[in-house]
Amino acid sequence: MSTTGTATVIIHPAHKVAPVLSDGITTPSALLDWENACDDFFRDAKDPITDDKKVSKVTGGLQNSRISIYVRNNRVRLHALTFPDFMSELRETFLPAGWGKDTLRKILAARMSLDQTFYNFCTDIITSNNLLANGPLHLTDEHIKEQVFNNVTEDLRDKLEESPDKLVEINKLPLQKWLNAISEIDIKMVKTQT
């Protein structure tokens, strides 16, 4: 099989068959997609899948040649792992060394550009942070809000700071509602500038 493209996830529409991770370059995004599909498979299974059987129920869907050979050679040990521990091992084994730190650095270095909407800037950061889920580098929603706010355009930050009481209320909102509230302000601000 070719490994020139990026690995993709194939999901059976009724979640009756374990999701497939195809051959190709294994990326953090592909592993997260496969992990999410597996969680859906476990949740929607006709008969409940116990924690001690989860790994063995989905390893047949690993059609990525490098991963499937690794699983075959380590089957007994891997099948004894919890699913979260199994996913941690896949990430440690098949993703480039330091990928998590590189992703976090990308988040911390991100700055909203003048031609970028707040919504797109924030969504890019949240998407990158999602790749770090269940790991020690994953940022909390409050840290994401702080990181994003400190790196928006100066004009948007000034606009938000014009109404300190309103900003306090916005900052109390859950992340997605916070994103939406600031996006509305950003859109209105852009419209008045044009």
Residue 156 near residue 112 (C-beta atoms within 8 A): yes
DSSP per position, 104-152: HHHHHH----TTS-HHHHHHHHHHHHHTTTTSTTPPPHHHHHHHHHTTS
pLDDT per residue as tens, the chain (194 positions):
445 687 787 776 666 789 999 999 999 999 999 999 999 999 988 899 999 999 999 999 999 999 999 999 999 999 999 999 999 999 999 999 999 999 999 999 999 999 999 999 999 999 999 999 988 999 999 999 999 999 999 999 999 999 999 999 999 999 999 999 999 999 999 888 87
Distance of alpha carbon 45 from its chain centroid, rounded?
A: 24
pTM tops 0.75, yes or no = yes
CA 146 – CA 151 distance, rounded (Å) = 9
Q: What angle do CA 10, 13, 17 make, to 5 degrees?
A: 70
Residue spans of the domains in the chain: they are 9-94, 99-193
